[in-house]
């Protein structure tokens, strides 16, 4: 499932047009995501989630919305890899 999401992300980054600069993230949207999808590590609907981060499925820099529907829990180690790849892809699209 994760591999499929990464493939979809890669495809969306390749096809993305009109990439915008860094978008501000909404605390309210993130809070709503966590309310709807409690932390996989501790089951809490708010507060810290040890070992996990909230990830945007389609990166904000690739035009993904800052909405709960575009968010997922991701392990920190996976997030570091994905973030690095997204940063490279978004930078390449801008130049």
**Residues 21, 60 contacting (CB under 8 angstroms):** no
> Would you give the distance in Å from CA 2 to the centre of its chain?
12
State how far the Cα of 59 lies from the Cα of 57, in Å rounded to an integer.
6
For residue 28, what are its two tokens?
Answer: 């309210």
Q: Cα–Cα distances in Å, from 95 out to 32, 41, 65, 92?
A: 34, 39, 22, 5
Q: Is the pLDDT of residue 18 over 90?
A: no
Strands (DSSP E) found in the chain: 52-56, 71-75
Question: Which range is least confidently modeled, 21-30, 34-43, 66-75?
Answer: 21-30
Which residues in 24-39 are b (16+ Cβ under 10 Å) and which e?
eeeeebeeebbeeeeb
DSSP-assigned letter for residue 63: T
Q: How confident is the model at residue 17 (pLDDT cuts 50, 70, 90)?
A: very low
Inform me whether the pLDDT recorded for 16 exceeds 70. Answer: no
């Amino acid at each position: 499932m994760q591999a499929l999401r990464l493939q979809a992300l890669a495809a969306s980054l390749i096809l993305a047009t009109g990439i915008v600069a860094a978008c501000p993230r909404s605390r309210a949207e993130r809070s709503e995501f966590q309310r709807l999808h409690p932390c996989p590590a501790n089951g809490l609907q708010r507060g810290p989630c040890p070992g996990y981060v909230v990830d945007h499925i389609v990166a904000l820099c690739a035009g993904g919305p800052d909405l709960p529907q575009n968010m997922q829990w991701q392990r920190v180690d996976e997030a570091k890899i994905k973030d690095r790849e997204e940063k490279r892809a978004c930078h390449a699209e801008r130049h």
